[in-house]
Amino acid sequence: MAIKNVFVQGAITPEYIAKSIANHQSKTTIGAHDIFLGQVRADVIDGKTVSAIEYSAYEEMANAKFHEIRESAFEKYDLSCMHIYHSKGIVKTGEICLFVFVSSPHRKEVFNALHHIVEEIKSQVPIFGKELFQDDSYQWKVNT
């Protein structure tokens, strides 16, 4: 299977997410979808408020890691399909930077698979978020 490009420029729009859901209405063996949306938080750090996150990545390796995560999830869980999108570039607070969409005939599979996939993304994929503050300073984010 070819390695897909997971990255989209800027925020992932609610319209895009709605369209993705609509695209699955013809797949009638699916009985359950689950969706994870990562949203940029306006954290306050040392009195300064985050206004956006600028994402960069080691794209070739990141896409390879997404591919590995996808393949291993298909092996572990009974999934009908799976879609992952991650932003690159600037995403403002309140906007969506990660969209994971899994589908299966039954609900248990999607709950478990989604949890597993998101944790793998957060810990394994070489993506780097630069938290931009309102005063033009920044700091590199670290996932906990």
Which residues make up the interface to other proteins (CB under 8 A)? 38, 55-58, 60-62, 64, 86, 97-98, 118, 121-130, 140-143
18-33 burial: b if 16+ Cβ within 10 Å, else e: eebeeeeeeeeebeeb
Distance in Å, CB of 109 to other proteins, minimum: 22
Residue appearing with tokens 């996939």: 117
Distance in Å, CB of 53 to other proteins, minimum: 8
DSSP bridge pairs for 90: 54
Residue appearing with tokens 């570039």: 89
Beta carbon nearer to other proteins, 57 or 90: 57
- Which two tokens mark 106? 């039954």
Distance in Å, CB of 69 to other proteins, minimum: 11
Sequence-ordered list of residues with C-beta below 8 angstroms from that of 1, at least 6 positions apart, any chain: 67, 71
Beta carbon nearer to other proteins, 30 or 89: 89
Check: CB of residue 53 under 8 Å from CB of residue 91: yes
Distance in Å, CB of 26 to other proteins, minimum: 29
Rounded CA-CA distance 19/52 in Å is: 25
Beta carbon nearer to other proteins, 80 or 129: 129
Beta carbon nearer to other proteins, 80 or 114: 114
